[in-house]
Structure 1
Amino acid sequence: MIWDDALIAKYDLSGPRYTSYPTAPQFDVNIDKVALITNMMAPSRAPLSLYFHIPFCANLCYYCACNKIVTKQYDKGSDYVELLGEEMRLRSLMLDNRREVTQLHFGGGTPTFLNTQHFRILFAHLHDNFNLQQDGRQDFSIEIDPREIDEDKLAELVSLGINRISLGVQDFDPKVQQSIHRVQSYDLVKALVNNARELGIQSINFDLIYGLPFQSVSGFKKTLDDVIRLSPDRISLFNYAHLPNRFRSQKRLPEEHLPPAKEKLAILKMSINYLLDSGYEYIGMDHFAKPQDALTKARDAGLLHRNFQGYTTHSGTDLLAFGVSGISNINGVYMQNLLELNAYKESIENGQLAIAKGYISNNDDRIRHDVIMTLLSQFQLSFDFIEKKHKIKFVEYFSDELARLEPILADNMVQYFSSQGRNGIRVTERGRLLIRCVCMVFDKHLNSAIQYSKVI
């Protein structure tokens, strides 16, 4: 990857993160729910990826933009697990039960808010309703707040099949931690990492955030020093988006405490160089991984995939999401669950799917989905691949888009590659950090009125 200050300044834009295409702002609250469910029930033997949203958090992190419920009442987990079990039953009735679940992820909120008995019940429901892969190739993961887990709970999760974990680290600087209301020591995280490795966890990810209060280049370098000592297999380096008008808790973070834009950019530049120099490889957007990690191998084999959890090794899966706010994607048919717990509970208890909104992709959406997701995952796009899959002539179908791509080509962010003419485009090392700008060229639904995050 090549860092170019002038290029980054020129493309200082906002745009979608493309965890789906079309992106969530296109989902329709007035969609015909019968048509949505009918389309989702179309026969398929594709493997499944299951996502469970656990909204509860015992403590409020001021930076957080997730759908969450802050409570110390841990017994709320019992009712919620039963609702998830009923939602699983309802969904399983609509699918071929021979379809194999190759990927499973618990997100939140704080999934480890649930106790060991809750997880035993959840996995019992899973085995009752779905065909879980159990031959060692499965990817079963959970997001962990280091403050909300102990050795017994982690051991129980491993015994149930969890083989990958993601730790919310953010920053090890005590002053930064205090400002964001998330205090967790290096020793606490170190003990958790050591415990996970002793239990045989295959892959450990650290979530880090740059742009938080009181962060600086020198301070964040110390955090990276600590991270490298713990040697996680993957690292996600997220940009903090300060949107206090949308997320009330962020109002507790005074803007004058946030690093200036120039310093924030310098933190990112330093972090990328540090991680690359430390042996990590750049996967795409926020993600880094060790050369031997499955994520890197999937990228090299052309099997990398992107969904609502970011980059994943399991391409070709349909995503089913459970719990409040979860978003499913069954072959381009999107369905988002209700965001409020009481409304979700009422719907599930009445034997109905908790549908808030959705979207049914048309043929053009599916073509553009493949273009955008291939660029994000592979940093290149073969026109032949799109033409053969969708029966189109690429340069004719995307003539307007290729014209709009010319300035990006002129800036050497993208190059044509060819054997007998223009057979595809490849994102250069100068353009990789700005891949979202390349993808936006092919986004028919892009809307300047929507408040997207900055691409850098």
Structure 2
Amino acid sequence: MDINGPRYTSYPTADRFHAGFGEADYLQALADCAAAPVPDSGRLAPLSLYVHVPFCENICYYCGCNKIITKDHRRSARYVDYLAREMALVARQLGTRREVMQSHWGGGTPTFLDPAEMRSVMDALHRHFDLLPDGEHSIEIDPRRIGDAQMALLAELGFNRISLGVQDFDAEVQRAIHRVQSLAETQAVVDAARRLGFHSVSMDLIYGLPHQTTARFAATVEQVLAMRPDRLSVYSYAHLPHVFKPQRRIDESALPAPAEKLDILVGTIGQLTAAGYVYIGMDHFARPDDALAVAQREGRLQRNFQGYSTHAGYDQLGFGVSSIGAVAGRYVQNARTLDDYYGALDQGTLPVMRGFAMRGEDHLRREVIGALMCNGVLDVAAVEARHGIDFAAHFADELVELSRLAGEGLVRCEPGRIAVTPLGRLLVRRLAMVFDSYLREDARRAAAGGHAVAAGTGRGGQGADTGTPEAVPLRYSRVV
């Protein structure tokens, strides 16, 4: 059997955000961010930015992102204007033109914007922030909707990393998910990126889609490997037609059985690692010279709403509908609809829909979960020193459960050290869930006959409708 569990792009997870957190809370978080220099330096830390562009020209049936399907490009012109308004309001609270080490445009399809609109958004960012030229500046690309001229524009605007949606190259799978994309279209974008000097090309695949088999998906992986992307994300498809209406168009009977789906994942890990890619964890892979792989080897890997990252420790500002920020120990999410987003900005207020203010215990557990998920090792003594706790006493119940999982080969509990095994890295979310106090409270409430909150996120990332469940396998025999 499986259970539903979070992907831990944040802790607490986005399903714990609540409407009691509003604009006043976000304003205070921004004030704290503006008044918190890096210790012993006197300098303000760089920021991370996320810009959400929700528009797509056609619908992909599997997608759980917050998107607007339209061919009317007049709608994006208005949206660009409101993005600039939001940036101005946030920047005013920060009080100075802050440096940005990491920026990412997601969606939707960010390249839905025409060249003038893209320039306008980038001009607004540069007006209010200092995007460092040696930082990571990435954008999500639909290879079906971009040509050489647009790729050249992205390079001119300062993007140095691109992320391509592929999902699967099998023709029958593509028809079933309403996303027909040729190998030639994808190769053209990769070639342009290399020619234009982009630092990194990342590709997204999804397993568990209709008509996929282990052999068919392996053929797609071979085609992807021939293009030598720097990073790969291999996401698990979460079929939730009651949450995402477009998924109702997917034939459930064509979905691979759970055992086949797990075989696809295990086979993919084998293919990629045999080809020299480093298994970063969960659904991320990178070439050994990529910054993610280097950060993991050096114990610096972190995690944020874009997944694994080398710069996740910076405060992150989110712009656009449904975007999420993480600022000064608070999480904040914008309104999910254009009407609510525009309405707030028309009133001169930030479009905050919900959020969460972390407590000391949340910071502790986020550190523990992050260490396990990112670097595979937890230094118990270091955690005790930073947080002033007796680890064994504080996490007594958790260590009992961890001991059981150690017996199943997922983790080694050693003196002063907890280490994730190779098998445990495959199922690392199951280990992280042990230290999630909100899941524990849910379990206690359910046992007492109360209501439990369904935890988790789907495909993950900023564009996803966070708060939807994804299965975590509990049977490991097929993986060993």
> TM-score interval w.r.t. the shorter chain?
over 0.9
3-state SS in 2 of match to 1:13:
strand
3-state SS in 2 of match to 1:67:
coil
C-alpha displacement of 1:385? 2.0
Post-superposition, which runs of at least 4 consecutive aligned residues in structure 1 deviate over 3 A?
Answer: none
- The one-letter amino acid of 2:12's match is P
TM-score normalised by the chain length of structure 2 = 0.89
Partner residue in 1 for 2:89: 90
Partner residue in 1 for 2:388: 391
| 2:48–2:317 CA contact under 8 A, matched in 1 | yes
Partner residue in 2 for 1:309: 306
Indicate yes or no: 2:368 matched with 1:371: yes
Match of residue 450, structure 1, among 454, 462, 476:
454
Return the alpha-carbon distance in structure 2 between the equivalents of residues 305 and 151 of structure 1. 33
Partner residue in 1 for 2:413: 416
Deviates most, 397-406 or 166-175: 397-406
How do 1:170-319 residues align onto structure 2 when only pairs under 5 Å count?
170-319=167-316
Partner residue in 2 for 1:37: 27
- CA RMSD, aligned part only? 1.3
3-state SS in 1 of match to 2:356:
strand
Return the alpha-carbon distance in structure 2 between the equivalents of residues 36 and 319 of structure 1. 12
| 1:303–1:315 CA contact under 8 A, matched in 2 | no
| 1:40–1:330 CA contact under 8 A, matched in 2 | yes
Partner residue in 2 for 1:168: 165
3-state SS in 2 of match to 1:440:
helix
| 2:23–2:350 CA contact under 8 A, matched in 1 | no
| 1:276–1:282 CA contact under 8 A, matched in 2 | yes
3-state SS in 1 of match to 2:259:
helix
Return the alpha-carbon distance in structure 2 between the equivalents of residues 247 and 352 of structure 1. 30
3-state SS in 2 of match to 1:353:
coil
C-alpha displacement of 1:167? 0.2
| 1:47–1:316 CA contact under 8 A, matched in 2 | no
Once the two structures are superposed, residues 55-87 of structure 1 have per-residue CA deviations (whole angstroms, 9 ceiling, x without a partner) of: 000000000000000000112111111111110
| 1:97–1:131 CA contact under 8 A, matched in 2 | no
Once the two structures are superposed, residues 121-172 of structure 1 have per-residue CA deviations (whole angstroms, 9 ceiling, x without a partner) of: 11110111012112x2x10000101111111111111111100000000000
Kindly tell me: are residues 388 and 357 of structure 1, through their superposed partners in 2, closer, same or farther at Cα, counting changes over 3 Å?
same
3-state SS in 1 of match to 2:437:
coil
| 2:202–2:229 CA contact under 8 A, matched in 1 | yes
3-state SS in 1 of match to 2:219:
helix
Once the two structures are superposed, residues 288-333 of structure 1 have per-residue CA deviations (whole angstroms, 9 ceiling, x without a partner) of: 0110111101111121110111011114211100000001001320
Structure 1: unaligned runs, 5 residues or longer: 1-8
C-alpha displacement of 1:263? 1.4
Return the alpha-carbon distance in structure 2 between the equivalents of residues 53 and 246 of structure 1. 21
C-alpha displacement of 1:352? 0.5
C-alpha displacement of 1:209? 0.4
C-alpha displacement of 1:423? 1.0
3-state SS in 1 of match to 2:438:
coil
C-alpha displacement of 1:413? 1.3
| 1:303–1:314 CA contact under 8 A, matched in 2 | no
Once the two structures are superposed, residues 375-432 of structure 1 have per-residue CA deviations (whole angstroms, 9 ceiling, x without a partner) of: 1110111112212222222222222211221201222311123xxxx21200011211
| 2:23–2:351 CA contact under 8 A, matched in 1 | no
Once the two structures are superposed, residues 247-287 of structure 1 have per-residue CA deviations (whole angstroms, 9 ceiling, x without a partner) of: 00000001011111121111111111111111111001100
Return the alpha-carbon distance in structure 1 between the equivalents of residues 53 and 114 of structure 2. 12
TM-score normalised by the chain length of structure 1 = 0.94
Structure 2: unaligned runs, 5 residues or longer: 37-43, 443-451, 456-468, 474-480
- The one-letter amino acid of 1:405's match is L
Return the alpha-carbon distance in structure 1 between the equivalents of residues 244 and 22 of structure 2. 30
Deviates most, 33-42 or 330-339: 33-42
| 2:48–2:100 CA contact under 8 A, matched in 1 | yes
| 1:46–1:316 CA contact under 8 A, matched in 2 | no
Indicate yes or no: 2:445 matched with 1:441: no
3-state SS in 1 of match to 2:85:
helix
Partner residue in 2 for 1:3: none
3-state SS in 2 of match to 1:264:
helix
Partner residue in 1 for 2:422: 429
- The one-letter amino acid of 1:378's match is N
| 2:304–2:312 CA contact under 8 A, matched in 1 | no
Query: Percent identity of the aligned residues?
Result: 46
Kindly tell me: are residues 30 and 315 of structure 1, through their superposed partners in 2, closer, same or farther at Cα, counting changes over 3 Å?
closer
Match of residue 323, structure 2, among 321, 326, 330:
326
| 1:57–1:113 CA contact under 8 A, matched in 2 | yes
Partner residue in 2 for 1:6: none
Return the alpha-carbon distance in structure 1 between the equivalents of residues 297 and 278 of structure 2. 11
C-alpha displacement of 1:32? 5.0
| 2:376–2:425 CA contact under 8 A, matched in 1 | yes
State how many pairs are aligned: 440
- The one-letter amino acid of 1:72's match is K
Kindly tell me: are residues 195 and 35 of structure 1, through their superposed partners in 2, closer, same or farther at Cα, counting changes over 3 Å?
closer
Once the two structures are superposed, residues 30-63 of structure 1 have per-residue CA deviations (whole angstroms, 9 ceiling, x without a partner) of: 2354234213420222221000010000000000
C-alpha displacement of 1:222? 1.1
